[in-house]
Amino acid sequence: MARTQLRLVSEAHMPQSTRPIIEMKGVSKTYRTRDGDVPSLKPIDFTINEGEFLVVVGPSGCGKSTLLKMVAGLLPPSTGEIRVQGKVIVQPHSGVGVVFQQPLLLPWRSVFSNVMMPVEVKGLDKDVYGKRAHELLEMAGLKDFARKYPWQLSGGMQQRASICRALVHDPKIVLMDEPFGALDAMTREKMNVELQRIQRATGKTVLFITHSIPEAVFLADRVMVMSERPGTIAAVYDVELERPRTLDVMADPRFVALTQKIRHHFYAHGGLD
Residues near another protein, by CB under 8 A: 69, 72-74, 91-94, 96, 98, 100, 102, 104, 106-108, 117-118, 120-122, 149, 151
Contacts of 91 (CB under 8 A, 6+ apart): 73
Helices (H), the chain: 64-72, 111-115, 117-122, 126-139, 155-167, 185-202, 213-219, 253-267
| Residues ≥6 apart with Cβ < 8 Å to 98 | 68, 72, 166, 174, 175, 176, 177
Nearer to another protein, 106 or 236 (CB): 106
CA 272, CA 200: separation in Å to the nearest integer?
A: 36
| Rounded Cα gap, residues 143 and 149, in angstroms | 13
Nearer to another protein (CB atom), residue 107 or residue 270: 107
- DSSP H helix total and E strand total for the chain: 8, 10
Q: Smaller CB distance to another protein: residue 74 or 249?
A: 74
CB of 98 to another protein, least distance (A): 4
Q: How many CB atoms lie within 10 A of CB 85?
A: 17
The backbone region for 192, taken as left when phi is positive above 0, alpha when psi lies in -120 to 50, beta otherwise, is alpha
CB of 151 to another protein, least distance (A): 7
Considering the complex, state which of residue 26 and residue 76 has its C-beta at the smaller distance from another protein.
76
State which residue, 113 or 202, has the beta carbon closest to another protein: 113
Residue pair 240/8 in contact (Cβ under 8 Å)? The answer is: yes
Closest contact distance (angstroms) between CB of 63 and another protein is: 17
Output the smallest distance, CB 181 to another protein, in A: 13
CA-to-CA distance for 144 and 196, rounded, in angstroms? 22
Question: Least separation, in Å, of the C-beta of 46 and another protein?
Answer: 21
Smallest gap, in angstroms, from Cβ of residue 5 to another protein?
40
Cβ nearer to another protein, comparing 13 with 93: 93
Tell me whether residue 122 or residue 143 sits nearer to another protein (CB atom): 122
The CB-of-263 to another protein minimum distance in angstroms stands at 30
The C-alpha atoms of residue 245 and residue 75 are separated, in whole angstroms, by: 34
Strand 87-88 versus strand 79-84 pairing type: antiparallel
For the chain, give percent helix, strand, coil, nearest 5.
Answer: 35, 25, 40
**Cβ proximity to another protein, 31 vs 100, nearer residue:** 100
Report in angstroms how near the CB of residue 34 gets to another protein at its nearest. Answer: 16
